[in-house]
Amino acid sequence: MKKMLNEVIPYVVIILAVILFRLFIATPVRVDGDSMNPTLKNNQILLLNKMDKNYKRFDVVVFNHNGNKLVKRIIGLPGDKVTYNNDLLYINDKLIEENYTRKKTDDFISDTVPVDMYFVLGDNRSNSLDSRYIGFVLKKDIEGTVNFSIIPPKKIK
């Protein structure tokens, strides 16, 4: 009995380590839809970094919305006012260059982003459920950032 227990313990430790790693450090997520084209493709598998909670402008994040995991790009930080005019991004009335999207964006002006919230957009602006429709995203609803694609393997810009 003791010999069998000694043989099982390493497997139990490995299983616990994998579970803890996926719960607290990183886990794979799948892109569902075309809202992040051309940066991310439908069904692409990403590595979600759950440790990164210091969100910056243009980070690609995964967050919960009505029970679904959405993948979007942070555009507006707390205190920002986001404006699109003639397909150009302005944050606090300053023109910001975007290198990750070529899609047209309807003109809009956001309210000031509240504390502990973010304004997110998909890179495929004509086909994205994002802050223009769902409002600001609470920091507590963001699960983490994605910087790496597992399938296909590549660094996300």
* Residues catalogued as catalytic: 35, 72
Whole-number Å distance between alpha carbons of 23 and 7: 26
Contact between 46 and 146 under an 8 Å Cβ cutoff? The reply is: yes
Distances (CA, A) of 45 to 15, 38, 128, 148, 150: 22, 15, 19, 9, 5
